[in-house]
């Protein structure tokens, strides 16, 4: 049986761990080869969450190779357009084509209310979570165009790209901006049969969400909250009875949007949110 994305090549950012790694593995399971990039180091002085490492990216590569697919990796910061372009150019040279772009890399540090957010934190957030998404697509699009077969671009936004939460306004602004990027790319690229959609996860079981700082935010009443303390409170955000979803739940949406099964779907903000946006 052929896979759902057999023979396609996908360029994925933030692929060292979390959702990006899961997307690489899921697409490889269904027959794609992968160009995987990640910064693999801290991106700002105030990171509350441990950064990914070169070993993490190597592990993603091992997982993809273990599925019998090819992978090209590079340590790149999505704020650096020239480095992104060099990575995708080299990947396409080695793998022969590009069909799918998954702009997934992002940071998720909470912070202050918008009026108290520092200019530095604002610039870092917008630089990675919004401009980095634009630069990722911009680096890959010439290769998808030159293939002449159409393609699929998937931009990772968030439930926070559709509704607002306090104390993380720079994230909310960047993720809403991703929807604007998605729509603008979709109208520009549709004539080339290149589809552009965004995915909007709720809480996902990755280091960005599953960490002490987030647990404390949800359970300020406890000194050292555990996953079990945190789950029922996180569940209040949802209609379905879960506090968070797994990376593969987002990967399954990405896979659908990457595959020809979604061939006439473009411009869609697709939620994977356990009903969060209904509330
Ligand atoms: N985890 C959640 O609850 C959640 C919810 C909604 C949306 N998201 C979004 O999903 C995406 C993936 O996040 P995740 O949950 O896998 O978190 P994660 O922290 O596990 O993974 C993010 C990856 O992106 C990489 N990255 C960060 N900045 C980068 C940069 N400047 N250049 C290149 N790579 C960079 C990191 O090194 C890391 O490997 C992000 O865009 C995030 O905003 C996450």
Ligand 1 pocket residue status of 199, Cβ below 6 Å? no
200 lines ligand 1 (CB under 6 A): no
pLDDT of residue 168: 94
Pocket test for ligand 1, best of 208, 209, 247 (most atoms within 8 A of CB): 208
pLDDT the model gives residue 44 = 79
Minimum-distance ligand 1 atom for the alpha carbon of 105 = 24
Site to probe by mutation for ligand 1, drawn from 11, 13, 14, 227 as the one with most ligand atoms within 8 Å of Cβ, is: 14
Which tokens hold the place of 177? 């901006």
3-state helix, strand, coil in the chain (%, to 5): 50, 15, 40
Nearest residue to 251 (alpha-carbon basis) of 8, 3, 16, 28: 28
Q: Say if residues 130 and 181 touch (Cβ distance below 8 Å).
A: yes
Of residues 125, 159, 169, 171, which has the active-site annotation?
Answer: 171
The order of strands in the sheet holding 194-201 is 71-75, 33-38, 9-13, 100-103, 151-156, 194-201, 269-272
Cβ pair 103, 133 in contact under 8 A: yes
Decide if 165 is catalytic.
Answer: no
Residues with Cβ within 8 Å of 176's Cβ and at least 6 positions away in sequence, in order, are 157, 160, 161, 162
> What's the gap in Å between 107 CA and the centre of ligand 1?
5
Given its phi and psi angles, is residue 35 left (phi above 0), alpha (psi -120 to 50 degrees) or beta?
Answer: beta
Q: Is the distance from CB of 257 to CB of 270 less than 8 angstroms?
A: yes
Ligand 1 geometric centre to CA of 25 (Å): 16
Output Rg (C-alpha) for the chain, integer angstroms.
18
**pTM higher than 0.75:** yes
User: Is residue 87 lining ligand 1, measured as CB closer than 6 Å?
Assistant: no
Which pLDDT belongs to residue 45? 62
CB 28 near ligand 1, within 6 Å? no
Distance 191 CA to ligand 1 centre (A): 31
Cα-based angle 180, 26, 231 (whole degrees, multiple of 5): 75
- Tell me if 127 CB under 6 Å of ligand 1: no
Asked whether 33 lines ligand 1 (CB < 6 A), one says no
Averaged over successive runs of 10 residues, the pLDDT of the chain (279 residues) comes to: 92 98 98 98 79 97 98 98 98 98 93 93 96 99 98 98 95 98 98 99 96 87 92 96 98 98 98 97
Which has the closest alpha carbon to 131: 155, 151, 109, 150?
155
Give the residue, by CA position, lying nearest to ligand 1 atom 36.
Answer: 14
Q: Which class for 197: exposed (0-12), middle (13-18), buried (19 or more C-beta within 10 A)?
A: buried
Task: Kindly state if the Cβ of 8 falls inside 6 Å of ligand 1.
Answer: no
Q: Would you say the CB of residue 170 lies under 6 angstroms from ligand 1?
A: no
In this structure, are residues 161 and 197 in contact, taking their beta carbons and an 8 Å threshold?
A: no
Backbone angles phi, psi at 175, to 5 degrees: -70, -30
């Amino acid at each position: 049986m052929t896979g759902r994305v057999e023979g396609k090549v996908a360029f994925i950012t933030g692929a060292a761990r979390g959702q990006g790694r899961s997307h690489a593995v899921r697409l490889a399971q269904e027959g794609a080869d992968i160009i995987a990039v990640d910064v693999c180091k801290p991106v700002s002085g105030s990171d509350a969450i441990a950064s990914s490492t070169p070993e993490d990216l190597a592990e993603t590569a091992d997982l993809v190779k273990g599925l019998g697919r090819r992978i090209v990796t590079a340590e790149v910061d999505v704020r650096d357009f020239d480095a992104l372009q060099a990575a995708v150019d080299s990947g396409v040279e080695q793998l022969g084509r590009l069909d799918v772009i998954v702009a997934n890399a992002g940071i998720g540090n909470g912070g202050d209310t918008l009026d108290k957010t520092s200019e530095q934190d604002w610039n870092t957030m917008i630089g990675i979570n919004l401009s980095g998404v634009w630069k990722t697509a911009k680096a890959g699009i010439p290769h998808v165009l030159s293939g002449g077969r159409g393609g699929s671009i998937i931009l990772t936004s968030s439930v926070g790209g559709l509704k607002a939460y306090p104390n993380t306004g720079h994230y909310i602004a960047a993720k809403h901006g991703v929807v604007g990027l998605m729509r603008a790319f979709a109208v520009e690229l549709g004539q080339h049969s290149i589809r552009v959609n965004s995915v909007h996860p709720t809480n996902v079981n990755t280091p960005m969400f599953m960490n002490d700082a987030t647990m404390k935010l949800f359970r300020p009443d406890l000194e050292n909250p555990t996953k079990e303390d945190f789950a029922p409170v996180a569940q209040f955000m949802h209609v379905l009875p879960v506090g968070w979803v797994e990376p593969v739940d987002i990967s399954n949406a990405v896979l659908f949007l990457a595959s020809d099964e979604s061939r006439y779907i473009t411009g869609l903000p697709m939620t994977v949110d356990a009903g969060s946006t209904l509330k």
